[in-house]
Amino acid sequence: MAVCIFCAKRATSDEHLWPNWLLGLIGREGYSIEYRRPDRPPVVIRGPDPALKRRIVCKGCNEGWMNALERGARPLLTALFHDVALSLDAESQRAITLWAVKTAMVLEALRSANEGWFYQPSDRHALRELGTPPEFTRTWIARFAGDSPLTSNIAGFGPSVNGATAIWGSCSTLTLGHLALQVVSLRADLPVRCDRVPWAATTVCVWPVDGRTVWWPPPISLGDDGTPNLVDFWTRWKLG
């Protein structure tokens, strides 16, 4: 029996991997989802129609807190999708982060749990019950100037142990029109580093929220090519 990934009740509802309101913005231009681990070849799922559904949640979650989360984030994400410059207060930053974390958890669950999900039941429980992301989580947004309106890249990273990689961190990156979103979650407060691309001028940190209003877009945009590009953004984080 399929169970809800958020509350462990019977999964009775077909969850859209991307919500209908977002599909209405993008149309049927296709999608791609890529899963990466250092010790395995990447797995890429592509298709012409992004209106995908999976039975991984229950009706109570889908029509309850998940629907409320969508309603809270939709106006902000729509504006960012359309490249509208705006300020984001603390509540707006929180709404974007919770939506991004929920989406990362749903996309991860496309694959069998036997393939190694990063997010634990306690992480999903905290998101559902408390409205909080996992403890060691950071979220960034960037402006995307490329031609891929809907992409997802889910990457695990960590140290190599006996030829296999112990997954201590997860980096989930989404592009939605002109918006690029990135969620990095760690098992603990581990040291991480990124390459020397001028990320401070390319990204805006929206979680943890420190009370400041932030502005979007940042001065430098991501593209399909050149520096910085979308692949740079996917692969920028390393442990150590």
Give the count of beta carbons closer than 10 Å to the beta carbon of residue 162.
5
pLDDT at 51: 59
Distance (Å, whole) CA 8 – CA 17: 19
- List pLDDT tens digits, range 106-161: 988 877 776 778 899 999 999 999 999 999 999 999 999 988 777 888 887 766 66
* DSSP classification of residue 160: E
pLDDT at 9: 93
pLDDT at 90: 96
Distance (Å, whole) CA 20 – CA 51: 8
DSSP SS3 for 72: helix
pLDDT at 14: 78
pLDDT at 121: 92
Point out the residues of the chain with pLDDT beneath 50: none
pLDDT at 139: 96
The pTM (predicted TM-score) of the whole model is 0.90
- List pLDDT tens digits, range 122-135: 999 999 999 999 99
Cα-based distances in Å from 215 to 144, 180, 203, 236: 15, 15, 10, 22
pLDDT at 191: 72
Which token pair is 24?
Answer: 């209405």
Distance (Å, whole) CA 234 – CA 210: 25
pLDDT at 33: 77
Show the DSSP H helices in the chain as ranges: 20-26, 59-63, 65-81, 90-108, 121-130, 230-234
Closest residue by Cα to residue 218 from 235, 199, 194, 196: 199
Domain residue spans of the chain: 13-239
